[in-house]
Structure 1
């Protein structure tokens, strides 16, 4: 495969994400300057998680991807995914809730990692004192709220949070297949950002 074909594949990836006027990051430029087969893998992986899920509908997939773009503070992808999610039926209230959930998980991920790392009774027995009203009657519904919480917590590496949100999902009837696909989506979008933003 030659560099011209790889560049076309990369252009197709950007088109899939509705990203325009993109100046390649140093990481992207490195791939584009060689016969980097990973560009094709990346495009296939992104397309599969956003468009070919057996368990997530299009809107759910795009909102999960949006949460990772918000979490990773990457405006270009955040804006394009917000547009795509809106086209798939997401409301401004739902997009705002994704931002709220992502922020709350960043709070909780730091706090509960601290508790888990130290495993001291004093810290574990103190009330968290963290306001979490967004968790009550989420506009996205409980399942998607928990899926976003789980995926963001997975990306942020909070073991306690991952276990807690996975248990809540299983307890309310979400299948392991859906959980698996949601986390895989988060992983792929995190990898995408590593190329586009680095």
Structure 2
């Protein structure tokens, strides 16, 4: 299993992260598409090669090609939106919030998978990228459609742990370079 291979890349000081990867891989509050879409979107949002490769290999055994594409699309579109909307939130001049974004975001309206799954993945990526405005927007959509808070929390936990694992592996790779 690729999660075990990923865990093998984490040194002893990251034991908690390794154990969290294992427990999240076995999480049952999300279905496989929701869970592995979160893993995949999170890995692509961070972009650390070994993590992306191992998570993508495992996700490919559980997700349809459409879901794989949509998870990557969530990482891509949130990579843009999180920067833009976080900037608007942080800027003192609120005039910018009244201007149209003029950015293409069609994939959000038609992601090719269940819209709520895409919203979960976008929430995880928005947490990784630190955009409170986007987290609130996606969480609001999920809550409006009755998504339980434990499912939203699971997506956030996956994003956090994939981020931590990616940072550890990137740091260890840098030490060996």
TM-score, length basis structure 1 = 0.78
Q: Structure 1 stretches (4+) deviating beyond 3 angstroms? A: none
Alpha-carbon distance in 2 for matches of 1:59, 1:83: 14
8 Å contact kept, 1:65–1:189 = yes
Question: Does residue 33 of structure 2 align to residue 47 of structure 1?
Answer: no
Question: Which shifted more, 66-75 or 55-64?
Answer: 55-64
8 Å contact kept, 2:3–2:21 = no
Question: Does residue 118 of structure 2 align to residue 118 of structure 1?
Answer: no
TM-score, length basis structure 2 = 0.87
Q: Which residue of 81, 85, 106 corresponds with 2:55?
A: 81
Alpha-carbon distance in 1 for matches of 2:130, 2:18: 25
Structure 1 residues 42, 166: CA separation in 2 closer, same or farther (over 3 Å shift)?
Answer: same
8 Å contact kept, 1:115–1:123 = yes
8 Å contact kept, 1:19–1:77 = no
Question: Does residue 94 of structure 2 align to residue 108 of structure 1?
Answer: no
Q: Which residue of 34, 43, 46 corresponds with 1:69?
A: 43
Partner of 1:197: helix, strand, or coil? helix
Greater share of helix residues, 1 or 2?
2
Q: Which residue of 127, 135, 138 corresponds with 1:165?
A: 138
Q: Which residue of structure 1 aligns with residue 3 of structure 2? A: 17
Query: Alpha carbon RMSD of aligned pairs, Å?
Result: 2.0
Alpha-carbon distance in 2 for matches of 1:132, 1:93: 18
Q: Which residue of 155, 162, 166 corresponds with 1:189?
A: 162
8 Å contact kept, 2:37–2:59 = yes
How many equivalent residue pairs?
Answer: 170
Larger Rg: 1
8 Å contact kept, 2:33–2:67 = no
8 Å contact kept, 1:19–1:76 = no
Q: Which residue of 61, 64, 69 corresponds with 1:91?
A: 64
Alpha-carbon distance in 2 for matches of 1:123, 1:114: 9
Q: CA deviation at 1:83?
A: 1.8
Q: Gaps spanning 5+ residues in structure 2: where?
A: 172-177
Q: Which residue of structure 2 aligns with residue 12 of structure 1? A: none
Q: Which residue of structure 1 aligns with residue 115 of structure 2? A: 142
Q: Which residue of structure 1 aligns with residue 124 of structure 2? A: 151
Partner of 2:60: helix, strand, or coil? helix
